[in-house]
């Protein structure tokens, strides 16, 4: 898959985008789980392993602390929470684990029998969606949401 890296001239943040080469049908495709959802989960697991490896390397060497450690921590939290939000999305125009489950429930009685239980498990992800929307994918507008708390790295997701 072609990958594009873009650095924002204003903030200096790095944006990575992956262009997929397969067209998206309107309904749930037979390959959504394999080509999209499981790849997202695999990517989360790999990033988690790298983060833990870097933490161990930091303990052994005493290096990459301070600002570098903060950058690694912020990048890890950002990538993991955004991935969880994507996996749990319920909009009909997105590919997510929840959409695959909901569509499979319509056509598969076995999945439908366990679907309620699995949907409840995915409901636990909802607590992540709002903070991701407010602080990561968008900048929260306090004029429209006056009770929105200021974001800190210690904020509870």
Residue 141: inside a domain, yes or no? no
pLDDT at residue 130 above 90?
A: no
Residue 72: inside a domain, yes or no? yes
Pairing, β 14-18 against β 3-7: antiparallel
Residue 19: inside a domain, yes or no? no
Look at residue 49 in the predicted model and tell me its pLDDT: 93
Higher pLDDT, 134 or 84: 84
Residue 77: inside a domain, yes or no? yes
* Helix 109-123, helix 97-107: angle, nearest 10: 150
Task: State the total domains in the chain.
Answer: 1
Residue 18: inside a domain, yes or no? no
- What DSSP state is assigned to residue 102? H
* Domain of residue 89, residue span: 25-136
Report the percent of the chain where pLDDT is more than 70: 66
- What DSSP state is assigned to residue 66? T
For the ranges 44-53, 62-71, 128-137, the lowest mean pLDDT is seen at: 128-137
pLDDT at residue 40 above 80?
A: yes
Residue 5: inside a domain, yes or no? no
Look at residue 53 in the predicted model and tell me its pLDDT: 93
The model's pTM? 0.64
């Amino acid at each position: 898959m072609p990958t594009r890296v873009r650095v924002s001239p204003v903030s200096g943040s790095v944006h990575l985008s992956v262009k997929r080469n397969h067209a998206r049908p309107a309904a749930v495709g037979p390959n959504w789980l394999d080509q999209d959802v499981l790849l997202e989960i695999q990517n989360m697991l790999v990033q988690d392993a790298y983060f833990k490896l870097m933490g161990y390397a930091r303990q052994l060497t005493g290096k990459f602390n301070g600002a570098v450690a903060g950058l690694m921590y912020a990048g890890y939290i950002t990538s993991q929470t955004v991935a969880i939000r994507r996996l749990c999305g319920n909009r009909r125009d997105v590919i997510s684990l929840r959409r695959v489950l909901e569509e499979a429930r319509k056509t598969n009685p076995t999945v439908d029998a366990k679907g309620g239980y699995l949907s409840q498990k995915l409901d636990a992800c909802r607590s992540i969606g709002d903070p991701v929307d407010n602080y990561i994918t968008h900048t929260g507008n306090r004029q429209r949401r006056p009770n929105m708390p200021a974001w800190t790295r210690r904020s509870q997701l």
